Structure 1
């Protein structure tokens, strides 16, 4: 940035494109080696974003050597609309603005009085764009962050029975679940408005949890074309809240079912997948449908509740709290957005996800002809 504004080069003999031929390969190979050596755990972009986030805090911390006794203070631990985030990212705003101004200033200096050689100008403009990008990522991550509740939101799907004053209870899906709220979508969600009060039961592996909630948000298109509503939980007692917390925090369901991982493909692994035609990113399940189901390969007409993925192509994933064996013939009634739909599947056992409450069983579902 200073080179663009002042026209002063730290290396004087840089008047040819020789510098670019060293500058660009050096950084490309450095970042590539970083990713490969760290075997997918390096994440150079996130690392540099973190460095951009903390640089000012590290600079300010050095002032502790020159300051006197620092008083102890307790910072707020809850998320509140009264505590904005803008003042925390003023340094990143400054980096973004200064580099954005320096680029046209450097171009003007080259055209006006030849302050910089062309190769040096190009290299410094590229580096300024890197700084702008990192600062913009930090600002966007802070201002548009997804988790605005006091508790972490678990992206696990849970079946909910919502009490319907005009009829029997209805199944719905709860996602982004935390101890303070969740997001639901169902037929009843199409009719809910802000500040509506609802009640029902959350279905977890060891039983049901009664709850009351207030609608505090609406979203018309986050789940494709399905309208969703955000709800704030109103717990009748601490015991019910603790039961949900035990299930959420005592399980790795979100990792196992949604295919989450803290490892990414290295550049060479991504290239190999691309050359083999497998694609780089796996298709994550984005929508779940609650179902009533019964087994056709055992006697009796008992019904259970489960979840099946809403993808229309490829094998579906079927979640249940009951073990069905290695293979099962299942007839289910899917509770769709506007209507119910019957489906018969062959459920092949995939894995058992254990937690501190009770296990969840994951099956791969292959559709069968009704009969």
Structure 2
């Protein structure tokens, strides 16, 4: 078991903050209610934007699947539940794996914003795997259901090795239409961001795959919620890099917030691009703490040993009753990564007693 000084510090701090078993986690802020007000605009106060993102991520992880039966779309329930489990696993990887934060001003440390905001305000999370292939990583995240993804034709960002430091670094791809190398793969996942049945700003409701339900009918002309995944293996060093981000809509589509996604999205004036929750992306979000760097501002490192350890802990959490899982995510989504990591490790250790 991992016993690094940082790990022990987190455990010690967290044990003084809480004792976590299967008890009711109690009320926390924010309210975790998805309402029409949960969607932001670029003019919404930055702290409220981040809070709205927490609400919407929570509603994406724990969806009201009975709504689908009520509107005659029960055939999508299994797919949406599988997507929700994938995202739960991903956020637990962020929490248990620990997040390395690099700010625009050059400072670094733990992720100082809500854990939910790792994916709600744009940019990408760089996951560096040592001794782990992207297939093994994705097989775990999807529980072997890789059909959740489809192959994308292009990616605006990739990863390369920095020769001076031998580190894996995120880079902007100059020609997004270039042919991918055999060591690269780009995948996409269209999912109902905000949860099916959540009211959209235009009055419709979020439907399966992020489509819209309006007047009782499923309309596929607009879409909200697209997860982009770029993976590249580096066999010479036995490492794999994965970039993960959530975009406001799938490539070639427009969402219900008036934004579109095309080849120009990554190079046009970013002030006209909105995040998936409707507000500003990090570059325009006027927060009190230094904003994350444009590239590799959010990084997670996983060795094979650490990955095997946290896999067991994640499966233990996901084997809990839904109510207990909800309580755990209510605790970690609004908090920074230092708190989330300490809470999850303590919770996992306490359950062994």
TM-score normalised over the length of structure 1: 0.21
Q: 1 or 2 for the larger relative contact order (CA 8 Å, sep ≥6)?
A: 2
Larger-Rg structure: 1
Higher strand proportion, which one? 1
TM-score normalised over the length of structure 2: 0.22
